[in-house]
Structure 1
Amino acid sequence: MPTIKSSYLGNLRTESEHVQSGTTILTDAPVDNNGKGEKFSPTDLVSSALGSCMVTIMGIVAARDSVELTGLTWEVTKIMQASPRKIQEIVVDFHWETPVEDEVMIKKLKNAARTCPVALSLDPAIKQTINFNF
């Protein structure tokens, strides 16, 4: 059974459905590549997936040690290369208002983030700049 079913809607827009949940997302080509830029672009989703995967794995590690990640936020910046057009760098800036004060746990969380499945799946040519502001 497929994980995702997608279709082209025209005008550089796609729709993808997560089969198990029925959730859908739309993508547009970005403005700088002939699109409307009204939705996430496919490369935006890749970049967003990195931050979300990092936090998901951090959450799994935190839950094992009864640590709460409440207040953890992040921003993702995607940097594109012009030729060939591809993602050159993804910058993830984590912010945590009230981090745990356990340095061993902080080290575990940072390691979990850096070794999440998306981070490990991205081409090594894509620079991953991760800033832990906590």
Structure 2
Amino acid sequence: MPTIKSSYLGNLRTESEHLQSGTQILTDAPVDNNGKGEKFSPTDLVASALGSCMVTIMGIVANRDSVSLEGLTWEVTKIMQASPRKISEIIVDFHWENPISDTAMIQKLKNAAKTCPVALSLDPAIKQTLKFDF
């Protein structure tokens, strides 16, 4: 059974629907690649998926140990290579306002981030740079 159903809307825009939830995502080509840049680009979604997946896996580990990740935020920077046009690096910069003081748990969370399914699925040629501000 499909997970996602998508369609081309014209003008370099697509729409995808998550079939289980009905949630929709629109994409545009970026301005530097003939698009409007009004929505996430497909490569933006890849970069975003990496950060979200890392935090999701960190959350699973934290929940198992009754640790709250409240206040955890992250910023994602996607770096594109010109030729061939592809993602060359994704930088995920994590910030945690009030981190826990348990250094073993902090290391466990960092390890969880590095082994999330998206991180493990991306081509090894895409550099994944992680910065943990906690």
**The TM-score by the shorter chain falls in which range?**
over 0.9
Residues 69-125 of structure 1, C-alpha deviations (whole Å, 9 max, x = no match): 000000000000000000000000000000010011001000000000000000000
Separation in 2 of the partners of 1:115 and 1:29?
A: 30
Separation in 2 of the partners of 1:63 and 1:127?
A: 29
Give unpaired runs (5+ residues) of structure 1.
none
Separation in 2 of the partners of 1:30 and 1:123?
A: 22
Partner of 1:125: 125
Count of residues in correspondence between the two structures: 134
Separation in 2 of the partners of 1:61 and 1:74?
A: 18
Separation in 2 of the partners of 1:77 and 1:4?
A: 26
1:86-101 correspondence runs (5 A)? 86-101=86-101
Separation in 1 of the partners of 2:39 and 2:8?
A: 14
Instruction: Tell me the C-alpha RMSD between the 2 structures.
Output: 0.2
Query: Secondary structure of 1:44's match?
Result: helix
2:19 matches 1:19: yes
> Post-superposition, which runs of at least 4 consecutive aligned residues in structure 1 deviate over 2 A?
none
1:68-87 correspondence runs (5 A)? 68-87=68-87
What is the identity, as a one-letter code, of the residue corresponding to 2:3?
A: T
Query: Secondary structure of 2:58's match?
Result: helix
Partner of 2:4: 4
Give unpaired runs (5+ residues) of structure 2.
none
Give, in angstroms, the shift of residue 36 of structure 1.
Answer: 0.2
Give the TM-score normalised by structure 1: 1.00
> Matched residues, percent identical?
87
What is the identity, as a one-letter code, of the residue corresponding to 1:109?
A: L
